[in-house]
Structure 1
Amino acid sequence: MHHFHYAGPDLHCESVDLAAVAKLYGTPTYVYSATTIADNYRRLQQGLAGLDVQLCYAAKANSNLAVLKHLSNLGAAFDLVSGGELRRVLAAGGNVRQSVFAGVGKTEAEIKLALQNEIFAFHVESEPEMARINHVAGTLGVKAPISIRVNPDVDAKTHAKVTTGKSDNKFGIPLKYAAAAYEAAAKYPNLAIKGVQMHIGSQLTSIEPFVEAVQKLAPLAADLKARFGISYFSIGGGMGIIYRDALASGQAAWWESQPAETRPLTPESYGAALKPLLQPLGLKILLEHGRFLVGNAGVLLARVEHLKRGAGKNFLIVDAAMNDLVRPAMYDSYHEIVPLHRDSSRRALVADVVGPICESGDCFAKDRQLQEVGEGELIAFMSAGAYGHVMASRYNSRPLAAEVLVQGSSFELVNTRETFEHMIAGERVPAFLK
Structure 2
Amino acid sequence: MFDPQDWYPDTYIVVLTGMGFLVALVAWLPLALKRLPLSLPIVCIALGAALFLIPRVPDKPLPVAFPDITERVTEFVVIIALMGAGLKLDRVFSVRHWSVTWRLLAITMPLSIGAITLIGAGWIGLPWIIALLLGASLAPTDPVLAADVQVGPPKTGEEDEVRFGLTSEAGLNDGLAFPFVNLAIALGLAASTGEPWALEWFTHNVLWEIGAGIAGGWLVGRAFGWLTFHVPADTKLSQTGDGLIAIAATFISYGLTEMIQCYGFLAVFVTALTLRHAHRNHDFHREMHEVTEQIERLAMMVLLLLFGGSLVSGLLTPLTWVEVLAAVVILLVVRPLAGLVGLIGLEATWTEKLTLAFFGIRGVGSFYYLAYGLNHMEVADGERLWAIVGLVVLLSILLHGLTVTPIMRQLDRSRGRDPDADDAIPPPGLQGPAA
Larger RCO: 1 or 2 (CA < 8 Å, sep 6+) = 2
Greater strand proportion: 1
Higher Rg:
1
If the TM-score is normalised by the length of the shorter chain, which range does it land in?
under 0.3
The two structures have a TM-score, normalised by structure 1, of 0.25
The two structures have a TM-score, normalised by structure 2, of 0.25
Greater helix proportion: 2
